[in-house]
Amino acid sequence: MSWIKPDWPLPVGVRAAVTLRSGGVSVGGYASLNPASHVGDDPGAVAANRAIIRDMLALPAEPVWLQQVHGVAVVKADQVDGVPEADASFTKRAATVCAVLTADCLPVLFCGDGGRVIAAAHAGWRGLRAGVVKQTLAAMDCSDVTVWLGPAIGPAHFEVGNDVRDTFLAEDNGSAVAFAECGTGKWLADIYQLARRQLAALGVGRVYGGDYCTYADAGRFYSYRRDGAATGRMASLIWREV
């Protein structure tokens, strides 16, 4: 199978998926199901991979792709024209597909108001620290939110410096529990735990996922830290059929 169905109790009519790296036409470091157009892959291969994904998942429309910049901008997916510079999108409209691309950063999928509002956010450590999760929830403006944390680099491989740790501790001193020292000025960060702490502080208690490691699982996932710049991306998508 070339995709993962999130282990997440979604309302009837709401669908979610994460593509894997197999099943496409890209070659080399991009092999093989890379849907990202900004990483140096052949544009024709990217277009073919996107068509494969649409057919494979029976998507109701082309996903709303974003120009991700590790920021906090959130767009309304059903009002997008082109490829907006943003790191999250949301919609209340059926047959609109919210999507983010990642290869170590954390994809976060949201569902609220019984499935009437959905969203997807790209949360690398910069975006997470800057507040992309908070801004996405604010844009959704709904209640009864559940969240799924998709494949990201795991705590055994996400090495950061004092600067990253310090910026999280400045906001939440308790986030020290998400960092394990691995050398002088070096730490292993648990981005899943950092996201869970933020979500809990924002009143979201039902959080699923968070048990993958893109770096450690080369067979299924792309990883920028493991493979360098010439690598692809996974797509994390959520949509409502009716």
Q: Shortest CA distance to 50 belongs to which of 24, 78, 30?
A: 24
φ, ψ at 17 (rounded to 5°): -160, 155
Domain boundaries, the chain: 3-153+203-240
Question: How far is 2 from 30, CA to CA, in rounded Å?
Answer: 15
Please tell me the CATH superfamily of domain 3-153+203-240, with its number: CNF1/YfiH-like putative cysteine hydrolases (3.60.140.10)
Question: How far is 60 from 154, CA to CA, in rounded Å?
Answer: 32
**Does residue 21 sit in helix, strand or coil?**
coil
Residue 182 is encoded by which pair of tokens? 């691995």
Question: The pTM is what?
Answer: 0.98
Q: How does pLDDT run along the chain (242 residues), one tens digit per residue?
A: 799 999 999 999 999 999 999 999 999 999 999 999 999 999 999 999 999 999 999 999 999 999 999 999 999 999 999 999 999 999 999 999 999 999 999 999 999 999 999 999 999 999 999 999 999 999 999 999 999 999 999 999 999 999 999 999 999 999 999 999 999 999 999 999 999 999 999 999 999 999 999 999 999 999 999 999 999 999 999 999 97
Rg (CA), the chain: 17
